[in-house]
Amino acid sequence: MSKVKGINGFKGFISFEGIEGSGKSTQVKLLADYLRAKGHNVLTTEEPGGTKIGHKIRAVLLDVENRIDPLTELLLYNSSRAQLIREVIYPALTQDTIVIIDRFSDSTIAYQGYARGIDLAVIKTLDEIISSDLKPFLTFLLDMDVEEGLKRNRAIQKKDRFELETIGFHNRVRNGYLQIANEEPNRIKIIPSSGSVEETNRKIVEILETLWL
């Protein structure tokens, strides 16, 4: 794997997206393990977070005690992303390291755009400023029923500010993701994730190997 750029950016930049409880963090780890076993250097990270500053921003964004205005929320996510790109992602990609990230710009469009109702043009303009030409070469959208995803998170006692949102909010997020995928089918691959972890991982690996041939 080299840092050769494809039509959608560095071929070593892969993102995972999806609603709450869709299994992104698990699949990020499994894919990283698979690629390391193949001899690749792999770095995994997440949004918001991934840096000292990013982790502090993450704590603010997810704290159930915080009432955050949608515009403030948008700017905090972009602040975390700006730091992560410059401190972690770009340096890794330019050193031939594969970067797999749990959430990237698509999350902002789905959550703050489609779900919160912030103008998509504003979000995309900010993203151009923050991300420049950086875009995942490949994005796996883990798709499942909203209520099933939230039930999974309740089972592991996960609770943050987004877990407390309405079913309607989470359905808007899911529909937003599907709209984004419909607009960029070459980059975004929809993976049903309501089955077993192993089944989902197998589908991801099959798609990845096909695109890297």
**Digits of tens for pLDDT over the chain (213 positions)?**
333 343 335 679 999 999 888 889 999 999 999 999 999 999 999 999 999 999 999 999 999 889 999 999 999 999 999 999 999 999 999 998 999 999 999 999 999 999 999 999 999 999 999 988 799 999 999 999 888 877 776 666 567 778 788 899 999 999 999 999 999 999 999 999 988 999 999 999 999 999 875
Question: Which of 79, 186, 171, 198 has its CA nearest to residue 136?
Answer: 186
**pLDDT digits over 59-68, tens only?**
999 998 899 9
Query: pTM value?
Result: 0.90
**Strand 13-18 relative to strand 9-10, pairing:** unpaired
Residue 3's pLDDT is 36
Beta-ladder partners of 5: 10
Alpha-carbon distance of 179 to 113, in angstroms, equals 12
Q: How high is the pLDDT of residue 148?
A: 82
Q: What integer pLDDT is reported at residue 156 of this predicted model?
A: 62
Distances in Å between the alpha carbon of 36 and those of 60, 98, 101, 165, 201?
33, 10, 15, 37, 15
Has domain 5-211 been given CATH number 3.40.50.11540?
no
DSSP-derived secondary structure letter, 99: E
Q: What is the pLDDT of residue 48?
A: 95
